[in-house]
Amino acid sequence: MIVLAMDTSTRTGSVAVAGEDGLIAEYNLNIAETHASRLMPMIDQVLKDAHLTITEMDAIAVGLGPGSFTGLRIGIATAKGLAMALNKPIVGIPTLDALAHNLSYTPGLICPILDAKRGEIYAALYHYHGYTLPGGRQALKKLTEDLVLTMKELLRRINEQVTFLGDAIDIYRDPIEKELGKKVSFAPHHLRLPRAANVATLGLEKLKAGEKGPLPKIRPLYVRRAEAEVQWQERKKKSPLTG
């Protein structure tokens, strides 16, 4: 089985092709360019370099977020469109789950953090189980749901050795170090960003377990409401025409 995977939840766009024997090809682009203009060219390029065609894909896997609302909509709409056109199964993978698997072998807590704007982060806590799943992947236990909260609120939850990864490190590194001291480590830069290879690996596991679509159930994990919705609700409360 060969899976085409993509993640557009952050500024980093990532596309990968992977099979049951492992990763075949991956393309990551971490530049200030919209996913709308680069995602399909990335898919075309990774397939070309892997000497495969889109019709040879057995399934589609996509990162569900949380992350950029616009990026998620672009990635999920593209994945669903391809799955529908090809009549192939589709699976969705939470972005924080895929990101945490960059550090599968790491002892202690693993904590991916993504910038959620407005002084908040998206985060979740994981722990390495210490054993290997079929296929060689290291098992991680998810200790929390996907969260949106302030860094101060997150740090209150941590009282043991922890390794952070994700794009919010550059924003919050100083307060993290001040609060946790020697308990904290940070992933190197090349392991801090979401990878479609992990989306593909986790997607293959879901497919083998019989988990897939249907298409309407593949939806973004926003975790919180969009800024436009929040502002609309606030205006609605203040309007003399409401209730």
Q: At what angle do helices 35-49 and 69-86 cross, to 10 degrees?
A: 50
Compute the distance between CA of residue 19 and CA of residue 74 in angstroms, rounded to an integer: 24
Is pLDDT of 86 > 90? yes
- pLDDT given at position 238: 56
- A 10 A CB-CB count for 24 gives 19
Query: pLDDT tens digit string along 96-144?
Result: 999 999 998 888 999 999 999 999 999 999 998 765 655 555 578 999 9
Q: How is residue 130 written in tokens?
A: 């210490």
Range 14-23 average pLDDT? 96
The pTM assigned to this predicted structure is: 0.88
Q: List, in order of start, the domains of the chain with CATH numbers.
A: 2-95+193-227 (3.30.420.40), 103-191 (3.30.420.40)
Is pLDDT of 68 > 80? yes
**pLDDT range class, residue 215, cuts 50, 70, 90:** confident
Is pLDDT of 239 > 70? no
- A 10 A CB-CB count for 238 gives 8
Query: pLDDT tens digit string along 163-182?
Result: 999 999 999 999 999 999 99
What are the beta bridge partners of residue 162?
109, 184
Compute the distance between CA of residue 110 and CA of residue 167 in angstroms, rounded to an integer: 14
Q: Where are the alpha helices (DSSP H) in 122-168?
A: 151-155
Q: Between residues 233 and 202, which one has the greater pLDDT?
A: 202
Round the average pLDDT of the chain to a whole number and report it: 90
Q: Between residues 243 and 181, which one has the greater pLDDT?
A: 181
- pLDDT given at position 228: 44
My answer on whether omega of the bond before 112 falls inside 30° of 0, hence cis, is no
Q: How is residue 162 written in tokens?
A: 């922890």
